[in-house]
Amino acid sequence: MLYREAGQFKTSYAADQQLFPILQDRIGVISLLAVAAVGVPLIASDYWLTAILIPFLVFALAALGLNILTGYAGQLSLGTAAFMAVGAFATYNFHLRVPGLPILVSFALGGVSAAAVGVLFGLPSLRIKGFYLAVATLAAQFFIPWLLVKVSWFSNNSSSGVITAQPVEILGFVFDSPVRKYLLVLVVVSVMALAAKNLVRSSVGRAWMAVRDMDVAAEVIGIRIMRTKLVAFAVSSFYCGVAGALYAYAYLGSVEPDGFNLDLSFRILFMIIIGGVGSIMGSFLGAAFITLLPIFLDIVLTDGALWLGLNLPSGMTSMAQLVVFGALIIFFLIVEPLGLARLWQIGKEKLRLWPFPH
């Protein structure tokens, strides 16, 4: 009863085309954004902001990028972290070497650089697909961090390629405290997520899905495969690049190329598998899940061991993390291949009738 679209008539084209056509969705999204923008900064402690909420949003953006490529366009990539690295380092260099460049423009340029690199490594996708492509993107994953370490120009000649993010300042307003950084990330991520939601229902997004579902059929109905795939790589890498820049500027403060390793790529891949492949919502759910799970496991294992009087060997929690991640991936692929987003959808369908039986 709560979530029922009956009686909501669309009387104009604008009403038919809006991003959230159902009133309850609009209310939900607006109240969610309001809580995130006003409520959270009032309540949340610095620990929550810096250790959970900011990384959650940054990873959600990266997962969104990967989801565009893997979920919507069907091209598997294991090089997400490398594209994030390109975004972070490009942003750093643009901001360092072009005086007076607004930081948001630097972020965008970082994203554009990542997009260019993404297209370059996406070229093999024109000839191959599936896990062949995954191996090809591994090349990006190993090559790019190496390049960023070796060419010291990228890190302004710092030792071992570490860069320290410049202070973020927009129109004289400095984003230095956790709350301010959180708000910056929130705005960027919300805008980009809404843009992505809009994009995937446009002709571009439909072309991606057509290519994903059956490339030959897509070609027959006149979709240019080459352009579609490369656009997917470009947009996806742009999102990953901006996520990388935020990772450096709002989350960690200083990053090194080796931080953008294969593990990070896998973590983001896990986010979209668990959250939901081919779903904007899923990217957020998956990012929240993967960000919270280690903290949850840590608490459970430490407290559980204390309670049982066991002495856990060091590193046990990180090993347990691997096991739980692996098991969850297999579990989700078998039981619910569409991930948490599908569960959310089922919940919404149930809410149409609930609490009445019919």
Partner 1 sequence: MQFFFEVLIGGLLAGVMYSLVALGFVLIYKASGVFNFAQGAMVFFAALTYVGLQEKFGLPGWVVFLLTLGVMVLLGIAIERVVLRPLVNQPQITLFMATIGLAFFIEGFAQIIWGTEVRRLDLGIQDEPIESVMTRFDMLISSFDVTAAVVAGVLVAVLAVFFNKTRIGRALRAVADDHQAALAVGIPLKQIWAIVWSVAGFVALVAGLMWGARNGVQFALTFVALKALPVLILGGFESVLGAIVGGLIIGASEKLAEVYLGPLIGGGIEGWFAYVMALLFLLVRPEGLFGERHIDRV
- Counting residues that bind partner 1 (by CB under 8 A) gives 49
Can you tell me which of 29, 37, 40, 139 binds partner 1, judged by CB under 8 A? 139
Whole-number Å distance between alpha carbons of 7 and 16: 14
- Strand-pairing partners, residue 173, are 170
Can you tell me which of 98, 101, 187, 333 binds partner 1, judged by CB under 8 A? 333
CB 248 within 8 A of CB 95: no
The residue behind tokens 């691997």 is: 322
Instruction: Work out how close the CB of 142 gets to partner 1 at its nearest, in angstroms, rounded to a whole number.
Output: 4
Q: Is 304 in the site for partner 1 (CB under 8 A)?
A: no
What lies within 8 Å, CB to CB, of 240 at 6+ separation is: 62, 65, 66, 80, 83, 84, 87, 114, 118
Name the segment binding partner 1 (CB under 8 A); options: 93-101, 241-249, 262-270, 293-301.
262-270
CB 239 within 8 A of CB 192: yes
What string marks each residue from 185 to 224 as x (binds partner 1 by CB under 8 A) or -? ------------------------------x---------
CA neighbor of 163 nearest in space, from 141, 148, 179, 174: 148
Name the segment binding partner 1 (CB under 8 A); options: 58-66, 137-145, 296-304, 344-352.
137-145
Instruction: Work out how close the CB of 320 gets to partner 1 at its nearest, in angstroms, rounded to a whole number.
Output: 7
Whole-number Å distance between alpha carbons of 243 and 63: 9
Name the segment binding partner 1 (CB under 8 A); options: 232-240, 302-310, 317-325, 340-348.
317-325
Instruction: Dig out the tokens for 313 from the structure.
Output: 């060997």
Residues that bind partner 1 (CB under 8 A): 74, 76, 121, 123-132, 134-136, 138-139, 141-143, 146, 150-151, 215, 225, 262, 266, 269-270, 273, 313, 315-316, 319-330, 333-334, 337
